[in-house]
Chains A and B, each alone.
Chain A
Amino acid sequence: MNASLEEFLIARRDTGRSLLVPYVTAGVTPKWTEVVHAYVDAGADAVEVGFPFSDPMLDGVTIQEASDRALAAGTTVRGILDEVATLDVDVPVVAMTYSNLVFQRSAAEFCAALRGSGLRGLIVPDSPLEEVGDLADAAAAEGLDLVLLAAPSSSRARLREIAGRSRGFVYALTRMGTTGEGGEISEQAARLGRELKELTDRPVLFGFGVAGPERAAELADHADGVVVASALMRRLLDGAGAGELGEYVSSIRRALDQGARWAVHPATAPSPTT
């Protein structure tokens, strides 16, 4: 696979498909890489792999628990990278972790290590625009797409900058809060999706609180797709295996495919009013 994360996702979206990016915490079970394969077989367009951190400020109880479990099992960055390198998947794999892991030695070293293991993108939720400079340069130098977050509280000016500087996709937070299941789809999420779509042709994916096929499809209506994390990790922590998780992802895949609206396709959507 030679395409960048962004090229890959744009190509898929432009076929009229809603994008689906499921998440797994690396090391949460010894067989977590099987979960990645199950996601891909179930129709994932990319997979987000969480590198567990001891103090996950933006995570709710589920991903906290998954992170604690992975760390207690002795998961290390080096170990994750070695396992990622053995993955045999035909969609991009994206790392998600916190600043302290990224800046441990240097952003350049971290990005080079990710790229060396075949990762195509990186999400660092506690590195906002003002702190992302060196990291963005390091990622670009390695051909790694650095995905930025946009929040319902972001001003129009910030959204413009985020949309402009994010690579791969723009990660739109459905709500003000941590990762975790549940909650209604708010009008603010829909508005954020619409605004971002106006500002960029880059894929816009919703994340946080995306649980269940209906909600996923509903949200995907307002953007290009969804990231599903806590709903999957909750099931995994409750004992679900790769097979079951794959089925859950398939159910979301089907809902997205049925619900996908041509209206979000850039070729047929009304021209952006910026």
Chain B
Amino acid sequence: MDVMTDPGTTGRFGAYGGRYVPESLIPACHEIEAAFREAWSDTEFRGRLTMLLSVYAGRPTPLTPAWRLSRELGITLLLKREDLTHTGSHKINNVIGQALLAQRMGKRRILAETGAGQHGVATATAAALLGLEATVFMGERDIERQELNVLRMEVLGAEVVPVTSGSRTLKDACNEAMRHWVSSVDDSYYCIGSVMGPHPYPWMVREFQRVIGEEAREQCAAELPYGVPDYVVACIGGGSNAVGTFAGFVDTAARLVGVEAEGGAAATFGRAGVLHGFRSLVLQNDDGQVTEAHSVAAGLDYPGIGPEHAHLRDAGRARYETVNDDEVIRALRRLAHTEGILAALESSHALAWVIRAAESGGIAPGSTVMLTLSGRGDKDIASIKEML
């Protein structure tokens, strides 16, 4: 099947992807694509990335059996522990890759958008590590919801720019980051936080995140009787932890499941459209006005989905499910009680679907499920307290 390959110079994943940006940004996109292609086939670059992921970010991350929850659900649930990376989410995998690329391209400053603040924190961290400046755009509403991460970014030396337009969440932060990128493209590198944006970003971010899936594949091969789990599950905002996870299993028999927030479920309720430089499934009205996403998890408040997910859906290789806020909170608490693991609200979406499906028989008893726990929940404590 023609999925999860190199999308070529036009950046197409089936009918999706592409490069819908103003002419002013086209040369920058070309430059980044060329630099990435070169770096990705350069063993020295790859070696440096692997080294930093290991000694700095803490990879490989463990695959932890959820012992008690598995027993309760009658399945074998394995957790890929991205929450244990430095900065506490999978975002660091992508950011170290892109920051190294920015440095290689001679850029002085990194721009980023952030929703939950995890990508912003990771960007601020990588910038500090490599001696670059970081400017992070964040919706005003998310700044309120994720105060702790704003402080973390500032302590790390990044400038956090509040975005007051539109819904004041992730989608507007993306618009604002793009606008600033256009006017500072000479010395600034735009470090996109998920598998979205114009080509080469969706592909490049997938390549930087595939480490999740590749490690998990090896760990499963070592731990499981049949080597491959029956289900591979991850939550989806833009879709980077999910795509990175799927990349390790796409050529196996494992069923791939992406879980979206009910209020931001572009794969389920979206229609084809163009947003933030790429064509994919987008939540929008009849006229093409993009609608606001709503979720307890700031990192999933995104009205689109990475173009490769739209393609995987159309090709029937992955399926996409939704869960609501209540199920998510319950799942978060249940994992905390049974395993002593406090997962991010985002990651708890994947868990909520597994719990529902296992309890309803949607996942057959005795099945093996590999779930990517994309991040830790410390940042969400205040929101969780409010909702209890």
Listed in ascending order, the chain A residues whose CB lies under 8 Å from chain B are 53-61, 64, 68, 71, 76-78, 98-101, 103-104, 125-131, 148-155, 158, 162, 173, 175-178
Contact = CB atoms under 8 A, between A and B. Distances in A.
A126 B277 contact: yes
Given A103-B273, A153-B28, A173-B23, A55 B183 contact: no
Nearest to B199: A130
Interface of B: 10, 18-28, 165-166, 171-172, 175, 178-179, 182-183, 185-186, 272-277, 279, 282, 284, 286-290
Contacts of B179: 57-60, 177-178
Contact of A64 (B26, B165, B274): B165
Contacts of B274: 98-100, 103, 126
Contact of B287 (A56, A77, A129): A77
Nearest to B11: A130
Contacts of B25: 153
Given A158-B27, A178-B179, 11 more contacts: A57-B276, A58-B179, A61-B165, A71-B289, A100-B274, A104-B286, A128-B23, A130-B19, A151-B22, A153-B27, A162-B23
B24 to A, nearest CB: 4
B289 A177 contact: no
Contacts of A162: 23
Contacts of B279: 103
Nearest to A60: B179
B166 A128 contact: no
A104 B273 CA distance: 7
B271 to A, nearest CB: 9
B28 A55 contact: no
B183 to A, nearest CB: 4
B27 A131 contact: no
Looking at chain B's contact residues, the main secondary structure is: mixed
27 contacts: A54-B166, A54-B290, A55-B275, A55-B276, A57-B175, A57-B276, A58-B182, A59-B179, A100-B274, A100-B275, A101-B287, A101-B288, A103-B273, A104-B273, A126-B277, A127-B20, A128-B19, A128-B21, A129-B23, A129-B26, A130-B26, A131-B20, A151-B23, A153-B26, A153-B28, A162-B23, A177-B24
B26 A158 contact: yes
B237 to A, nearest CB: 17
Looking at chain A's contact residues, the main secondary structure is: loop
B23 A131 contact: no
Contacts of B183: 175-178
Nearest to A148: B23
Contact of B22 (A57, A64, A77, A155): A57
B290 A55 contact: yes
A68 to B, nearest CB: 7
A151 B26 CA distance: 9
Nearest to A153: B27
Given A57-B178, A64-B165, A77-B287, A126 B22 contact: yes
A59 B284 CA distance: 20
A100 B290 contact: yes
Contacts of B171: 55
Contacts of A177: 24, 179, 182-183
A37 B272 CA distance: 36
Report, nearest first, the 4 A-B pairs whose CB atoms are least far apart: A177-B183, A151-B24, A99-B274, A104-B288
A131 B182 contact: no
